[in-house]
Amino acid sequence: MTDQQKQIGGGRRTIGDFAPKLAELTDDVLFEDVWNRTELAARDRSLITVAVLVAGGDADQLSFHLGRAKENGVSETELIEAITHLAFYAGWPKAMTAITTAKQVFSA
């Protein structure tokens, strides 16, 4: 798993001027450290993250992480299937929100 692309956050770029500490933690802890640990592939981390965001109904963050998942090798078909599967575990409304978000992200 050491040949995977390094994961880089965008906290400082997107919110650094407004919430510098949260941006720092996002970039330096979450992405620089956690996302780049070799015990799980970035692809696996992306699937886990998408699942948790769907389950939590976090459409704004899901939008970003669907794109990140594709960059990490998860296909649109796999992401749609994961969301469909989650409808029965996370709830129908959350899955419908997630699939609408995915449709927007994938058609952009």
What pLDDT, in 10s, does the model give residues 12-61?
A: 888 889 999 999 999 999 999 999 999 999 999 999 999 999 999 999 99
Are the CB atoms for 74 and 55 separated by under 8 Å?
Answer: no
On the question of pLDDT at 92 being above 80, the answer is yes
Write down the residue that tokens 């129908």 correspond to.
92
Q: How confident is the model at residue 6 (pLDDT cuts 50, 70, 90)?
A: confident
Nearest C-alpha neighbor of 51 from the set 1, 91, 14, 22: 91
Report residue 61 CA to chain centroid gap. Answer: 7
Query: How far is residue 92's CA from residue 84's CA, in Å, rounded to a whole number?
Result: 9
* In the chain, where the domains are located: 1-39, 40-108
Query: How far is residue 74's CA from residue 64's CA, in Å, rounded to a whole number?
Result: 14
Q: How confident is the model at residue 73 (pLDDT cuts 50, 70, 90)?
A: very high
Write down the residue that tokens 């952009």 correspond to.
108
Topology of 40-108 in CATH?
A: AhpD-like (1.20.1290)
On the question of pLDDT at 105 being above 90, the answer is yes
